[in-house]
Structure 1
Amino acid sequence: MQSIESMNLSTFITTFSSALEKKVLDIMKPIYTLEEDPLREFNHLLRKPYPAQAHTALAVFKALCSQDSVYIVGEMGTGKTQVSISVVSLFPKPQRVLILCPPHLVGKWEREVRATLPEVRVIQLKELSKLLPLKGKKPEKPKVTEFWILSRERAKLSHSWKPTWVKRMRKHACPSCGVFFKEDRPLSERKKEKCEECKEPLWEAIPPRRFSLATFIRKWLKGYFDILIADEVHEYKGDSIQGQALGELASSIKKRILLTGTLLGGYAYNLFNLLWRTHTSLMKSRKYTHTSVTRFQDEYGFMERVVKEVDTEDYIYGRAKKRNVRVKPLPGVSPLLLPHFLLPNAVFLRLSDVSSALPPYEENVVTLDMEEHQAEEYRELENALRDIVAESLRRGSQKNLASYLQGLLLVPDAIYRRNEIEVEIGGQRKTLSNLPVEGIMPKEAELLDIVKREKQEGRRVLVYCTFTDTRDITPRLKTLLEDRGIKVEVLKSQTVSPERREEWLKKTIERGTHVLICNPEVVKTGLDLYEFPTVIFYETGYSIYTLRQASRRSWRIGQTKPVRVFYLCYKDTMQEKALRLIAGKLETSLVVEGELSDKGLQALSQAEGSMVVELARALVEGLPEKESLTALWSRTRKLEIEADLTGAEKKATVREVSKTLSQIGNRILKVDVIESTKPRKKKTTRICVSEGELEKILKEQGKPLQFALF
């Protein structure tokens, strides 16, 4: 056995997991233990929660009996909306609930509430006029449970604006640099503009002249609402007007239920503002004030201090050198954040906890060789950028690293056109570019092939692209698909507002659309894409959180078809390196996190800034390739399955994951069958069977059986 001194963290936790588990259970006494039949508490609901959702709702309710705020940290698709409504139904008396949510989820919340509770009153709070009659009156207790739904955009009150300029020699000029406008005209009052010369804004803010809804509730309706439900609460973590609106509402409402899929964003300070707004007493008990962000980051995160001595100047008196000190936060958090803040105040819900209600899920990584001329153009750019990136890393500079790497991720997919990458060499800016290559490239051909196969099975396809703005490649894909008789729609953030996307999607499906192309950021929250059971990541980027969120957009409660996810990348390119880094980080985090959440602690080591540096190092130094990308991804998914089975009492069923098929003569399959025999016990059996024998084994089971192929 390996000595403890030489073990890394992952190996240590894996080796001593049983002893660590026993120690934790001895020290930490839960306020809620799993009951045999939690559903009996929800017989009065029109739509009953699943057992895992019922356990979560009961745990949150019990926590709210002794504290004011509880976070529900659940993966996308676990039914956090259903859980929060179920919590409200447990209170013995009717409650008045205020829901704060993104604007595109207002209609969805109303439908969910009406579909779950038998007697309920739902009000969409859109205008201040609905609250004005309540000012100065003693709040009456509601006769039935009331849900007031407030869009976060309406909760805050931002400033308005007006165009600004100066007049010189009877001409309109920029107030910052004084350069005359090319067209001597007043500026538009409908569009914000910038000076073409100095890039400064040609508009100024006008302070608000009335109360925002959140401020009105804090000043005049404190205590009117009994419960606050804040959806997607991680989006209020910044020092923004929306975050301030959450703080005002939280200070006015006694009980708070806070819903999120990712509580942490990679840095400790991401959690500070949320905790200060929702757990003010806890923060004050630890001697924090509203300005203690740096101290919080220093105590629960990592800080980098860079000291540079200035050689050009010396102090007149004394022998000390002049120094410049730069301090910046680094990704990662201290383990103390868990016992001090997260575990006492959060309930974690995994998608695996409700997996009995989900169809099979399959992931496939497809690596493709580039076409000859395509490879030549890419290699030329890669070699040129490798030296530039290596020099930046030697100097400790991250300037322009992201744009260089984005260029290398883009070029193989946009080789049909000239792509320019601005670089800085010796203080001078130069432009690198590729020559266009004609024809259908291998990844495009693979996309067309997958879409054709899925269409024959009657399955719609969702295609994710990360380059959809200034370097947009979606018109190319749309043309290729439409030339083959496939109906395609492209969803973009600037063309369809968040409030209209659900309605737009419904009409799109009614028109017979077979393929939907969009950026994963557009559908990361809110939309249920049940109608698109096949998901193709044509481009993945390097944001792990976005990738995981988008990959589960179709695999959620209510989906009836098996979900297939494909990741396409070119071999020996930055695209493959990015997927390798993502797989490696997921593998480590799954071992460390245990049963907490796919995104609860996972974000601790996955900040996008660190991914940029790691990708840059991968470009310069390369990555060790002890196994293929498909095998690496497959092993990562296997770890996730085993973690899912360890923490729940389930039958011997495992959802299908990424697969590697070994062909020996008559197609021999290597299959790992993982069985959950007892709570927290599992049995793994490896067999090698032919395809025909596997079908025979499945028929002999007499019931549906899901399995994992590796």
Structure 2
Amino acid sequence: MEKLLLKVQELLQMSDRNSGRMNRLSIQMKMDNLTSYLKIGTEELWDKIKEYLFGAKTLEDLSQIKLGSKLIPTSEMLKDVLEFAISNIQQIHFENDGKIFKAYVKTIMLDSDEETIVGIYFTGNFTACRAIHALFYNSREIFVTHLITEKTTKYYSNFQYRRVEEIIDKVCHTFLLPRLAIVEEYKEVCMEADASNQIHPDRILMSRDGNVEELAGQFLAQKYSLPKTKDWADLYLSLIPNNNWSEIKMVHTDSAGEGHKVRAIVIKSMKEEEVLALINQGIMNGRLNVFSETGDPAILTEGMTTEEYLRTNGKMLATKIDQYLKPLYEGHTYSPFLGQTKRISLPAQARAVMGVLAVLQRKYSVFLIGDMGSGKTQMSLTAVFALMKKRNASGAQDGISVLIIAPSIIIPKWAGQEIPKILGDQIVHCTIINSTEDALQYVKKIKSGYRVPKGHIEFVLVSTDRMKLTANKFVLGAIWKHQRNLWCCPDCGRGLKSPKSKTNDDVMATWKDAVELPVRPPNRSELREAYLNGTMGANGLPLNYIKRYTSLIRQFECLCKSGEKSVIVHKKSADSEKKERKRFCTMARPAVKDRGEDRNKPRWMIAEIFQKHLKNHFHVGLFDEIQQMKASDSGRGLAFHKLLKSCKKAMFLTGTLTNGASSSIQATLWRSDSKSLIEEGFKHNTTKELWAQKYGVIEKITYLDEESEGIIGRTTNRRSERVQVTEKPGIAPQLVARHLLHKSVFVELADLGLPLVRLKEEPIIVPLDEEHDAAYQLFHNRLYNACKEFQQELKSKAWAKFNPATLNYAAQPQLENVVEFVDENGTILHTVKAETFPEDYLTSTERRLIDDVKNELKDNRGCIIFTHYTGIFRTNQRIQKILREKGIESEILDVNTTSSVGRFEWLEKHREKGTKVLIMSASLVQVGLDLLEWPTLMFWQMNDNIDVLRQASRRAWRIGQSLECRVRYYVSEKTQQMAQFQRLMRRRIQALLVEGRIERSDNLAQYANDDSSNLTRDLAGSFSATELTETWKTAAEKDMDANLKIVNEEDYENAIKEAFVRLTAETKRLCGVTDLVQFDGNLVTTEVVPLDTTEIVQSGPLSESVGELDLFSFNLTVNTIKTKLRGSSELLIQEQIAFDFGL
């Protein structure tokens, strides 16, 4: 009470207008009256004290504000009023358009000048808080007024805030945080600074509990890659000089509550060298302890490679990993469901499945990354089976639905072979969605209440080619106004802007913006005739008048359909404000068959149908060959994004997660886990260059114009320059650690423990015949010089035909080969023509190919000849013709032979038929297919995509292949084919470096430099044939796991059978599935049902092969075994107990 009265007296002295002795007497009298009222409150005393001034308000005013009533307060009430009078309560209020907005301030964060507001926390009603938030962006000056004294303080806004608000009991709590205190905002600004070679901004750190030292330590450790141990991190801030950081002044009002504990600091941006110097100084003076108490130090000697370091310190590193990292799955426990599939997984596959299940239990998605032939289909389907069994055991009354997205070529394989073989056909139902009608029919079935039967799995399969297909044709939904000669919105009637115009331009859309044919709109007489005949369309044109629309029609939009929304962004000035338009409010619509706009039946995107009508319907989505959906702006990528919305969980299957560049995984990570990327400052439209700034490798090339005309300075000799930023192969370890390692399962072929036959890769480099070589060199040099001559005028178009022309002239000089250089107006600037050879001429490389095919057929080995240029060059037909002339029959697989869905059946037909020679493009069979019947693969032409080449070359080298696999690459010496093959070799070595199969210290790594990757590289710089052959063979050996078990052809059959029996039995043992000893050939175990885990304290007879075990030392799992006669449904053994000792 005494403290209260002292503060009240101070406030009265400040408020009393008298001075000197009169003031002291007046204050004393007022205090006596207040003290008396606090003892005995009477109406007479209230009349004396109610007019006392406290600041700008009377005691009566304060009583009404505090108590909300005009009644005379009691003594206890007056005490509350006096406490309210001396409190520090401040308001922000302003008037706008005749309306007054008020909010109570809780905390103000001030810059070093103590005038600029860095952050602020206030409360009020929702409208007032939003209006005050806008005030901080619209006005530089902010006024805060004390509620009691009405003293006003002027502050200034810095326009850099991030609003965070919460509404509790209709009271809006708003915190305008400093923008650089938000992690994603700070990281975004840092990426922008990196892109423009600017220094990073200062970092603001805020701690609710006041422990800014710990927070600063974590930030510095993350920012500058320092050790994150607590004993070090808590000391980092104390090592930084005071001029490099400062504490932000916090002004708290009495409304702040727990906010009084909040502290904030600013850490200035420092160079990494400065920070490391401070850390080094801390180590030298003993403030940072570098001595570990957890074992011996690592061994590092001069010249030691990374591999040698890891091998030398492997045991110590494993101990550290076990100490600091806890795996999601430790690899020792197995679900019994894994041993109950029709085709049992191998132990390595079972461990991978358990890892997948562990990830899906905690995360939305998991990456299953396995070598080609490692059984990704087996593992994914086993995981689905385990999920179904777990759901069934939980008491669910229905089964599960699974969505499978895969390339169209392997959809039949999934449905017809893999699912029945792995899971059987009693508990699975497969539905292939091939069209819009199929998708709508399936949606209708689900909407009608269909549920998958309990214990069953429904697979819905959609190909990557089908899922993305939208309408066959789009037409413009606008109305043509003949009188105004422009297109108008059918809803509001306003004219539409031309898609070619800039945002702020008011150029209206005319006929040519939307229509290619006819080139002119209908005249008045044509319109009148259509009106009289009743053939006038709703778009203001005669029916079927438009023959072809332009590609711009989907960019038409009207303001009435695309409103604007304000976005809080960093502002360069107080007056600037960025607006973001809602996109994709297009005026285009699908063509309607009934209106004569399209001959085909209506079609719409399957992915969008599922997204809209089956949100979270599928329990799991299996996305096979996820690398084909990686592009952020492709049809497949967008459809993949939509289908994820239909899946509760997702599994991504791939053998090549990345192509070596960090941006190749960017879009997939965003679509599967955008939250983690948003927290780091990334957005959906973050460029791959900005992404690579953090997680990849960026190459910046600055081109300076040294010619006199390159001077662009008016008063100086400043020259023009052009900076080209490109991403190079390379992935930062942080990308793997932060976004992949905790949700990825890796399986290598060697992990399976199965034998494989030998794989032999061999480049066949053949010199051209003398006459052919002379003609080729002449054509190559003329074309090369012409491309260089017209490069400045035609840019990249000058080189567009160089590679196809030179590569195919080396392979087929019998074709007419003419290259024309044409400008934008269609004028032919120059022509280069090659000498044409007779049709019956066989090149030296063709003769070698024929001889090799004959030798393979003698050994009864099937061959596949891979081509690339199969269009106008008709390479497939040429090879088929020359083989037929030598008595060798072959079949061609191309886009005209069958659809992508039918390729699997086509290959199966020729396998059954016994066709020995096939000709096709490698891109048609790069994924999903097993070409076991054709163990010799011959690359007559090669694709510049190294991923296609690597995958296609392994199609025959799979588990189950009993013949030695041979891969041959045919290259004509001293031609552009040599340069192309050299490029592919470099890219393959780059991929091996990224995958960790070779080290930078390896001699092979010297060939990975990219300085010779230009498509038009001069042939004089090519390797010799011998060097190229040996380097390729070495790279091919590195591309195979050294731990693989390789056996000879004659030993393979027995080795693979023995391995499968042994390994599948091991999987069953690990899963607790015990096979019965067969009393005769008719007894089989049909089902294993796990019961509750129980401790058993009894013993029984043990098998002699097992030996004696102490049962009291084990926790046993009890299973029941049901046994019946083969071919009979009658149970022979009703209930048999099986003990799983967990060994």
TM-score surpassing 0.5? yes
Scaled by the length of structure 2, the TM-score of the pair is 0.48
- Identify the residue that residue 628 of structure 1 maps to in structure 2: 1027
**Larger displacement relative to structure 2 (141-150 or 546-555):** 141-150
Q: Does 1:113 align with 2:113?
A: no
Q: Which of 427, 441, 444 does residue 129 from structure 1 map onto?
A: 441
CA positional deviation for 1:258: 0.7
- Identify the residue that residue 534 of structure 1 maps to in structure 2: 936
CA positional deviation for 1:5: 14
Q: Which of 331, 339, 352 does residue 43 from structure 1 map onto?
A: 339
Match runs of 1:589-668 below 5 Å? 589-591=991-993, 593-594=995-996, 613-617=1013-1017, 619=1018, 622-625=1021-1024, 628-641=1027-1040, 644-645=1041-1042, 648=1043, 653=1046
Match runs of 1:24-39 below 5 Å? 25=318, 26-27=320-321, 29=325, 31=327, 35=331
Match runs of 1:266-665 below 5 Å? 266-294=660-688, 295-301=690-696, 302=698, 304=700, 329-335=726-732, 336-354=734-752, 356-387=754-785, 398-401=796-799, 403-422=801-820, 429-438=829-838, 439-587=841-989, 589-591=991-993, 593-594=995-996, 613-617=1013-1017, 619=1018, 622-625=1021-1024, 628-641=1027-1040, 644-645=1041-1042, 648=1043, 653=1046
Aligned equivalents of 1:524, 1:60: Cα separation in 2 = 26
CA contact (8 A) 1:218 1:251 kept: yes
CA contact (8 A) 2:474 2:590 kept: no
CA positional deviation for 1:499: 1.0
Aligned equivalents of 2:647, 2:814: Cα separation in 1 = 57
Aligned equivalents of 1:374, 1:538: Cα separation in 2 = 18
Give the residue type in structure 1 aligned to 2:729. Answer: G
**Larger displacement relative to structure 2 (393-402 or 441-450):** 393-402
CA positional deviation for 1:519: 0.9
CA-to-aligned-CA distance 1:661-700 (integer Å, 9 cap, x gap): xxxxxxxxxxxxxxxxxxxxxxxxxxxxxxxxxxxxxxxx
Match runs of 1:194-205 below 5 Å? none
Aligned equivalents of 1:365, 1:615: Cα separation in 2 = 20
Rg bigger for which structure? 2
Give the residue type in structure 2 aligned to 1:18. Answer: R
CA contact (8 A) 2:329 2:354 kept: no
CA positional deviation for 1:158: 0.6
- Identify the residue that residue 257 of structure 1 maps to in structure 2: 651
- Identify the residue that residue 71 of structure 1 maps to in structure 2: 367
CA-to-aligned-CA distance 1:111-156 (integer Å, 9 cap, x gap): 3112111442223153212222433869778432332223344444
- Superposed CA RMSD: 4.4
Q: Secondary structure at the match of 1:616?
A: coil
CA positional deviation for 1:297: 3.9
- Identify the residue that residue 186 of structure 1 maps to in structure 2: none
CA positional deviation for 1:102: 2.6
CA contact (8 A) 1:158 1:241 kept: no
**Structure 1 residues 584 and 140, CA gap change in structure 2 (3 angstroms):** closer
CA positional deviation for 1:20: 8.0
Give the residue type in structure 2 aligned to 1:108. Answer: K
- Identify the residue that residue 233 of structure 1 maps to in structure 2: 626
Aligned equivalents of 1:362, 1:40: Cα separation in 2 = 40
Aligned equivalents of 1:539, 1:227: Cα separation in 2 = 40
Give the residue type in structure 1 aligned to 2:832. Answer: L
Larger relative contact order, structure 1 or 2 (CA cutoff 8 Å, min sep 6): 1
CA positional deviation for 1:409: 1.9
CA positional deviation for 1:86: 1.4
CA contact (8 A) 2:766 2:844 kept: yes
Q: Secondary structure at the match of 2:937?
A: strand
Give the residue type in structure 1 aligned to 2:769. Answer: E
- Identify the residue that residue 470 of structure 2 maps to in structure 1: 158
CA-to-aligned-CA distance 1:339-394 (integer Å, 9 cap, x gap): 23232332233344447243222222222121111111111123334445667999
Q: Which of 144, 166, 171 does residue 456 from structure 2 map onto?
A: 144
Give the residue type in structure 2 aligned to 1:566. Answer: R
- Identify the residue that residue 222 of structure 1 maps to in structure 2: 615
Give the residue type in structure 2 aligned to 1:57. Answer: V
Aligned equivalents of 1:461, 1:143: Cα separation in 2 = 44
Q: Secondary structure at the match of 2:754?
A: helix
Aligned equivalents of 1:210, 1:569: Cα separation in 2 = 45
CA contact (8 A) 2:659 2:947 kept: no
CA positional deviation for 1:203: 9.8
CA positional deviation for 1:630: 2.4
**Larger displacement relative to structure 2 (343-352 or 534-543):** 343-352
Q: Secondary structure at the match of 1:628?
A: helix
CA contact (8 A) 1:222 1:253 kept: yes
- Identify the residue that residue 90 of structure 1 maps to in structure 2: 386
CA contact (8 A) 2:757 2:1047 kept: no
CA positional deviation for 1:412: 1.4
**Structure 1 residues 451 and 30, CA gap change in structure 2 (3 angstroms):** farther
Give the residue type in structure 2 aligned to 1:414. Answer: Q
Aligned equivalents of 1:373, 1:379: Cα separation in 2 = 10
**Structure 1 residues 228 and 419, CA gap change in structure 2 (3 angstroms):** same
CA positional deviation for 1:315: 9.3
CA contact (8 A) 2:791 2:799 kept: no
Aligned equivalents of 1:194, 1:350: Cα separation in 2 = 52
Aligned equivalents of 1:526, 1:83: Cα separation in 2 = 15
Structure 1: gaps of 5 or more residues: 181-188, 657-710
- Identify the residue that residue 672 of structure 1 maps to in structure 2: none
Aligned equivalents of 1:581, 1:313: Cα separation in 2 = 37
Aligned equivalents of 1:17, 1:402: Cα separation in 2 = 47
CA contact (8 A) 1:56 1:349 kept: yes
CA contact (8 A) 1:392 1:399 kept: no
Give the residue type in structure 2 aligned to 1:222. Answer: K
CA-to-aligned-CA distance 1:498-517 (integer Å, 9 cap, x gap): 01112222333445532111
Q: Does 1:100 align with 2:495?
A: no
Question: In percent, how many aligned pairs have the same letter?
Answer: 26
Give the residue type in structure 2 aligned to 1:524. Answer: Q
CA positional deviation for 1:43: 2.2
- Identify the residue that residue 662 of structure 1 maps to in structure 2: none
Q: Secondary structure at the match of 1:90?
A: helix
Scaled by the length of structure 1, the TM-score of the pair is 0.75
Between the two proteins, the alignment pairs up a number of residues equal to: 615
